[in-house]
Homo-oligomer: A and B are copies of this chain.
């Protein structure tokens, strides 16, 4: 049997109360006694039963998660993933509350954040571009003892506790190498499409991409970023125009989401599968396009992992516990048709299932 606090008390020759004082850093114990207890812990290989501890503390974890109210497939998929992860984590006293804020209104977001401390949350995760107002809001939350975690897009100039997402510059570099190598090193031109929710991320990706092109593929010319501003019409127009004028274009790097409009346009131009297309985020459309060969590769982050990681990190921060960096690191995944992960069935949720 695993040793319990009682075993330690016996082994160390002290009372249960003293062991408890040592375990929970309570004052009023002599160094000598602390040592005796620590040695007993060591000797018996005691590991605190977290479940029992949390039960006794009746600790629970209500978390606020703030997402922009954009209707993009990416944000929607992320929201779903957080929802699923929240349902799973409910068995361990985690409660997820999703809030949407107006994407273009930093003041509204700040106001929402300001109201959070009164609703006794145990932590906040948020996906938003960094603005001065937001910086203040985050600082104020942290000052009140609330852990804050940046989601998808980092808030490097705030004192957020953690960032959960990928390094977009590295993601851009990865796209760059793939593009360069897939094009056999050139010669040729590459069209670059913008329009991301978070402008900073797009810029980072572009920087990474150019970095690699310049260094490793001098014979490939990445063209200026074309912005579709989320409009399908615009996208179609600029892509068509560009392709008509630049016959040397052999690849497309789509930094934002909105794959459907792109593949559709390429289809209409009779170019499906003729260009090397690399894009970000494995949305359902991107999956489909990978399978048909309309898209060559997708650079992505696993949203299920991201969601679960968010909850784990928030929990750890709320408990001031250390986290398993290896587990929380979100990977820059490269997805080709050949390593496309199978779509798992949706997870069954049932309160009557055995533990």
Interface residues of A (CB under 8 A from B): 2, 22-25, 38, 41, 46-55, 57, 59-60, 88, 90-93, 95, 170-171, 173-174, 176-178, 181-182, 184-185, 208, 212, 296, 302, 304-305, 308, 319-322, 324-327, 329, 331-334, 336-339, 341-342, 344-345, 347-348, 350-355
Say whether A320 contacts B46, CB under 8 Å: no
Say whether A51 contacts B48, CB under 8 Å: no
Chain B nearest Cβ from A2, distance in angstroms? 7
Say whether A55 contacts B51, CB under 8 Å: yes
Say whether A355 contacts B170, CB under 8 Å: no
- Which residue from B177, B319, B329, B344 sits with its C-beta under 8 Å from A344? B329
Say whether A48 contacts B344, CB under 8 Å: no
Please give me the 5 A-B residue pairs with the lowest Cβ-Cβ distance, nearest first: A184-B184, A51-B51, A325-B344, A332-B339, A334-B334
- Which residue from B54, B57, B171, B333 sits with its C-beta under 8 Å from A333? B333
Say whether A338 contacts B176, CB under 8 Å: yes
Q: Using Cβ atoms and an 8 Å threshold, which residues of chain B touch A322? A: 347-348, 350, 353
| A23 with B174, Cβ < 8 A, contacts A47-B91, A92-B50 known | no
Say whether A47 contacts B90, CB under 8 Å: yes
Q: Using Cβ atoms and an 8 Å threshold, which residues of chain B touch A55? A: 49, 51-52, 55
